[in-house]
Amino acid sequence: MSQPGFLQRLKFHFFNFYPPYFGAGIKVKALNKERTLFSTTMKLTPFNKNYVGTQFGGSLYSMCDPFYMLILMEHLGPGYLVWDKAATIRFIKPGEGTVRAEFYIPKEKIQEIKDETDRKRKMDVTFTAQILDVKTGKLVAEVDKVIYVRKKLKE
pTM for this predicted structure: 0.88
Q: Which residue has the higher pLDDT, 134 or 13?
A: 134
Q: Which residue has the higher pLDDT, 28 or 30?
A: 28
Which has the minimum average pLDDT: 15-24, 37-46, 93-102? 15-24
Predicted confidence at residue 31, as pLDDT, reads 79
Q: What percent of the chain has pLDDT over 70?
A: 91
Residue 67 has pLDDT above 50, yes or no: yes
Predicted confidence at residue 40, as pLDDT, reads 94
Residue 123 has pLDDT above 90, yes or no: yes
Report CA Rg, the chain: 16
SS3 string of 64-133?
A: CCCHHHHHHHHHHCCCEEEEEEEEEEEECCCCCCCEEEEEECCHHHHHHHHHHHHHHCEEEEEEEEEEEE
**Sorting pLDDT into bands at 50, 70 and 90, what band is 16?**
confident
